[in-house]
Amino acid sequence: MTSMVDDILGRIPADDLAAQLGTDPETAMDAARKALPALLGGLSSNVSAGGGDSLSSALQRDHDGSLLDRPDPLAAVDAADGQKILGHVFGDQQSQVIETLGATSRGGSSIFSKLLPILAPLVMAALAKRVGGALGGGGGGGLSDLLGGLLGGEVQKGKSSQPDLGGLFDILGGGAPPSSSESDTN
């Protein structure tokens, strides 16, 4: 099974992403390679902090994997929905996450402030697809455990294959959950 990060990256047309971000394809895809583990890390932190039921509900209610099945999923992304997802995932740490990611890219923070709202719906679609497939499309009491397992594994894969993200995973995993708004992950 390919990693969720690789699966999402493989479905994003680099030239289209670059056009949306106002940069070149190499910079756009490099930023996406760094941003996806950050999103997965934020979701994993939420699940670890007891937000698994909210994430499960959001996946079942608002997201499905069909977004990733489109020929150009970027064209169908709702960046406003992505911004709401980011609010739930990172809470009041969103600016700090963007700054930390920005320090890792020649595109700087501005590229991540545009990129994260584009990627968030794709991550939710990929997660919904994996969770739905793992459960045979049904719900159940073990969904939070399954989410935690999927997200934890993806974050570990992302951490091991990523350049130093300047303590981003410490920001995401350390201390209290980002904010009380996490109780409803979209």
Using CB atoms within 10 Å of the CB of residue 167, give its burial: 0 to 12 exposed, 13 to 18 middle, 19+ buried. Answer: exposed
Q: Which residue has the tokens 């699966």?
A: 7
Q: Which residue has the tokens 């990929």?
A: 126
pLDDT tens for each residue of 123-161: 988 888 877 755 544 444 455 565 556 655 655 554 434
76 Cβ contact partners less than 8 Å away, ≥ 6 residues apart? 67, 70
**pTM check: above 0.85:** no
In the chain, what are the domain boundaries?
Answer: 4-173
CA distance 94 to 86: 7
User: Which tokens go with 64?
Assistant: 């499905």
pLDDT tens for each residue of 70-129: 888 999 999 999 999 999 889 899 999 999 999 998 888 999 999 999 999 999 888 888
